[in-house]
Structure 1
Amino acid sequence: MSGRMRLLEPGSLFGGPLFRTLLRDRLSITELQPGTLVGVFRIDREIARGGMGIVYSAERADGEYEQTVALKWLPDPAPNSTGAELFRHERQILANLKHPHIARLVDGGRAASGHLWFAMEYVDGLPVDQHVASRKLGVRARVALLVAVLDAVKFAHGRLLIHRDLKPSNVLIDNDGDPKLLDFGIAALLDDPEMPKAYSPGFASPEQLAGGEVGVSSDIWQLGRLCEIVLCAGDPPRDPGSLPSDLKAVIDKACADDPRDRYTTVAGMQVDLERFLAYRPVTARHGGVPHRLHLMVRRNPFAFAASAMVVVAFVAVVAAFAFKLAGQRDAAERAREVTETVNRFISRDLLSAADPWSGGNDSVLVSTVVEGAVEKVERRFANHPEVAGALDLELGRILNNLGRFDLAAATLERALPRLSRTRGPRHATTLEARFLRADVAQNAGDINLAELLFSRLRADAVPLGDRGLIERIDARLAWSLLQRGNFRGCRDAYSALRDSGGGQDEEIESEILSGLGLCEARLGLNDESLVHAEQALALRYRRLGKDHPLSLESELLLANVQLGMGRFDDAAATGMETYRKSRQRNGERHPTTLTIAHDLGISLVCAGKPEDGAEWLRRALEGRISVYGVKHLWVANTQALLAMALGQTGVEGEAERLLADAETTVQHDPVGDAFVHVSVLRSRGDLRLRQGRYEEAERDFRKSLAISNEIYDTRNPKLAQIRISLGLSLIHGPGRDEGFGLLRGAIEEVRRTPTCRSEQVQQAEAALARL
């Protein structure tokens, strides 16, 4: 096949060289009237027109399902076998170009009149520059949209396609706020030696204007121009000179006159924009030390606040020592010694690793700094056990917040005997250290140890009458019931805590509301759960701000409720925004970020996007393995749900392997989690059902139904969904009558709430219709 045949420009719509050639063969184009059928689509109205054709809004008319498309009606070319072959190849290239931020090809062909047509995904939205201006979006929100556009272009480049017409009118923002890249109108495959010289005036790179070679670098130039227009759009427009220095550097590098001075790839430019969003210095600019230090503080505000708390604790320790030693003969000398020791630790051991003025590196994360400090406390404060205990307590608290559970546990284990010996076993600081140690065990998923430590602490706290501490412990014991899959028990425990007057403190109140809401969500009590989720979220927003880690946990709860209610798109949107904030605040491998990625993957699978869902679940799985290890129930849960997503996309081999690993973990876990057991059984049953292994599927669904009846409220839609699955496995064998009975009894209930297994619901409806 010739280079021209292999290296076709996909998606040429109005300005494409392919159709310019076709127009030269036949200059007329027939207009379509509303109601005209083109393929399976009925023309509704004209929405755009250009020199190369007309765009219509059209509706699917074959009755299969409702669908609106943008139908590109192109001129009627003269009979030409080469042109027809080019069109077929172009249509196939577009069909393979699947990306969430690229408008996809739905259909295409040649009408009886000879006209060529494409049916493309209909995007109802504004061009990106008009969108950001009308919404008055801030700079960071605009950059986030641009990052998504760059990801789409990077995806196309990875398939040897360039766009060559990147401009605001070719990037629409849909009703969900997501960008969609349109019209690969003058795109070409990278290694085409006869690449046509075509471009849109005003958006052409220098080499395009000069008629030179056009490739990736030209797209990068246009992306730089697009960034400048989007970032400056407004009424009145913003002066480009007023943009942040790092963004100006990115634009200047992308739009360099010499292609050799630009970014080598779109990925490089995308990374710089992501570094800007993460408050990291961009590679396009060599900022000075003050600028880099400023970014370091901006990107880790929570961790630096935590570090500041440590410093405050150190100062308090020094003051306490000075007061305690005031009556001793060498009080001044001892106080001065403690002060100097603490100050040396703060300046030399704790903070210097992240201080570029002290020879440190501003790319060092606070977690790395804290981990390094842990190793030095023992040596630096060997003669000051009370100081060492206080430092270990605060470092353990930070490490727990950072998700470094192993190191946090070891640090707190070292703090406890020192605090107990120097301050007493019933001192508030010692009790706080014990609470944190139990909290670390719970966060790490060691449920048995957490329950043991919390129960012992509660027994010691009751005689002291510390109501606040007792409420905190009771809230964590209720959470432990949730971790075990005892949803009824955790709902009752949280309700009792709330009804007994617990939650006088707003922090405890928001914790009770969040826990209660999640227990209710697991039970399928969606209305009650939504009320409590919204109350907890409002309380934490008001008290802590929208980006605080606890606020992000409440957003995660809201996404869980939306998922349970069948509002899958809402759950995915909430999860996506929460993931973005958690990744920026906590880091990509933080347990909270990974849980958000896990739940986001489920939402996308349920929303009918199993391939996208599988990508997020895979990301969550890799992260959870790195945090918890391979044989952990939460890892097994992600494996089971990833297997479900892969089964829906036909990747059965990997799904089988994941389910085998998850089953091994479930069988050998000494505690067990009914919720995870059900997840593994259902995913394996789904795969067996899809493979026609009905007896094996029946066994899995019966087991999952038996466990689910124990843990879920009778109103939970999951029970009806499992009965549908079980019924489908039975109707193919001797249990046919039982199977149809289950289908009849459950079908109306599952119709009321959308399900992640909509394919099985459709199969059940079809089976009942055939009776």
Structure 2
Amino acid sequence: MVDAARWGGISALFDELVELPPAEREQRLAAIADAVLAAEVRALLAADEQDGVLDAGVPDVVPGLLADAAPTDRRAGAYRLLHPIGEGGMGVVWLGERSDGAFEQRVAVKVLKRGMDTHAVLRRFLQERRILARLHHPYIVRLLDGGMSEDGRPFYVMDHVDGVPLTDHAAQRRLGVVARVELLAKVAQAVAYAHARLVVHRDLKPSNVLVEANGDPRVLDFGIAKLLEESGEQTRTGTGLRVLSPAYAAPEQILGEEIGTATDVYALGLLLCELLAGSLPRRRSSAPAQLAHEATHETSERASSLAARLSTHDIEALYGPGIDPKHLAQVLSGDLDVVIATALQRDPARRYPTAAAFADDLRRWLEKRPITARADSASYRFARFVRRHRVGVAASALVAVTVLAGLGIALWQAEVARSEARRADAERAHAERQLARAERVKDFMVALFREQDPVARAKAQARTPSQLIGDGVAQIDATLGTEPELQAELLRDLGEMQLNLDDGKAGLATLARAWELQRRQGGDDSLAATETQVAYADGLYAAGDIKAATPLVDAAIARLRELGAARGARMAQAEMIASKIHLIQGDGEGAERLAGDALEIIRALRGPRSMELVGPLSLLGKVRHERARFAEAHAALNEAIGIVEAGGGADNARAALLHMSVGDTLRVQRKYDEALPEYEAALRIERVQLPHDHVILGGTLIRLGDLQRRMGRLDAADTSLAEAIGILAKAPSGQYAQALQFHGNLARAQGRLDLAAQRYRASFEAFRAVSGDSVYTWLTALELVSVLGELERFDEADALAARAVAVMATLSKDDSYEAAYVNSVIGGLRHAERRYADAIAARRRAALLIEKAYGPEHAEVAQARAELAASLVATGDAAMRREAGEIVEQARAALEQSSDDTVGPMLGVVYLVRSRVHRGDGDLAGARADVAQAIDRLQAPEHATRLREARSLARSLGAG
């Protein structure tokens, strides 16, 4: 018996070595010091070179199919085994629960059967675990854990799927035809995902596809799945009768022919037929010899024919009452019959090549578009047109019947046929152009990977991706001058790649040429030109030229609506650009509306878990963050993180951007300790995944530097911000301007007010160059006003303040957070100028607006109240001093109860103001105690002005 620890070493080495070339594998084996361990691993690898037990004949497998008991202690690692829920050739599946107290979790645990510990079976068990480990898809059961039980049997742990078999679910829920096709499209999507990772399931059947209560399928049991060769070619299995489900097996499985992705397509066709018509399209014998004969000469009956023969009882059991067999047969006839028949071709080469192609035709049927599995005849496309536009076609026919008769109708029909034929020719030409485009892009991508092979590439040194794309642009110009439409489409593709590679200048130039070509071909208002206009506007925005991007994207949105493309992917892209621009311009409501609509377009086009949702979700989170709706911002960002981690892993570069956004939301809520690990996680991913000078890395460093400044880590903040400015200075952008602003905040925190003023002014000019008179431009101007007030440069401060107030009045609403900030800064300046009545009015307004944004208990509200109290008490009026005492006590109580450990300086201001209140009331002891508290809390350099006030007050009170 192999103990658990030793098994862990064996299985880990097997996983490591099984993928290596033979020579490297042998070298690695020879280096293993433990000869017995090496022999065990070598035996498993030798078994892996042969056909496994599940590819052997039935007589070789039967001894391992006996009933099996649980491990002696009914435990598998950290899991307690409750009762069996399934059994396969190699093992028994148990319902288990986590028993180590780490957390509560119900799981499915597959334990190798007693007596099945041959090297061949162990190899297959390891392979099944290895296959599952490759697959992370919402519709595929997930591998969670693995190990060795105390009695020496390997096990692995999967999600427990609380669902019912596919066909049972459809019958129990009385699903209609459309819902059933949608359900199987999800299954095909999961199988396509497995195919993309070189895994063929080989045993798809209703019991291996369970449907959960929410309606989502989960594909189970990869026990006889096959890993394709890394070349993607098909693999040959053994020649005996396989351990499989004969009713759902493809002919090549029964006959021992090559297995490939088309094998699973066959099973998907059977599942679709059974889902829709209630039975399989052919019967198979249980006798091996007869089964092989039937598979050789197999034909399948149409699903519509099966449906037409259903009895009333059968169809009610399948769909519920009120469904007529004849009507169901009509629904299934045509495209669905063709889809199923194509999937069930005897020759794998005549089926859909992949599950993805099968799923695509199902989506086409659901969207009433032409499927790919039949010829693109004009009559067929016309039939699909009529089905999509029944109302319009019926109305046109009625008018024609009223106006015309006899020959007139015949002429009308002939013209329609000619029109449809012309349209079919145009669509065929478009399809051929798209095929050529796809081939060119494929060739380019192959060249990109070939560049990394020092033997295959043409030059000694590999070209960078940007150089490759530049060469591709030149090649397109040289070879496609006579095909301007294809030339324009390819230039658009390559231009967008250049933008994604942070080669903005070249990308904009390429997109500008593509746009010009498409305008020459189809005019300024053509769909192709408009779509490229969107891409070009996106490049302009990314380059920081918001002035140029704004009219282009606004015009594109209007034109896409006119062209009937308001729910397409380019509209979503355009609305996202417009949303960002609206946000910069201070229109948070408009920004959220546009971001939300873009999200819904992508969700409708791509589904609820598509990676393409990450962009609009991230943008929506940012917009809600800017509107101080933090809980809703978190909801959007967390949904995006879930999608990224499910589809691309936790170290995906997109995950870094989302960690950064979450950090932003926490930072503005003053949850600094929670924000810091988010920024550090983003930075760790970016330093691995991105170039050292990538703009995204610069953006994260900005935020980290600001956070470090807020946490009092001023040297670390200086390092982060200096690196960010070095990265971002290569091109004007809003992020570069923000880096300068944060550097000004740092200088202020260090007590270097003149340097802070210089940096704020540079930031103001940088924002203005990029975004004109935007909210960000003038919020930075107000930062400069504030520090000029502290420096008592009042004339300069007043002039800039007047301009800022005037511009901000046009950019923000009267009750917005921006309006609160304007009032807060102006109140501070008027207080410094001893214009206390004006200061009180501005600070009172600021406190009300901040309370509206954050709620009465927030630290920012307490700070605003303390500032108002300072101006009230400064008037020397007794009534105002009493009001100041009440207000400052409210602020003190809120801050003393706060769990935010950064509120110390705010409390320092509160105690300074309360000290003045006590002195005015004649309570000198109380005033001395409070001013001591204030001095203690205002020691940081950024509070130097307040600290000087406190020390001056202490001297006047005779305090030590």
Bigger Rg over Cα:
2
State TM-score, norm by structure 1: 0.49
Q: Which has the higher contact order (CA 8 A, sep 6+)?
A: 1
TM-score calculated relative to the size of structure 2: 0.40
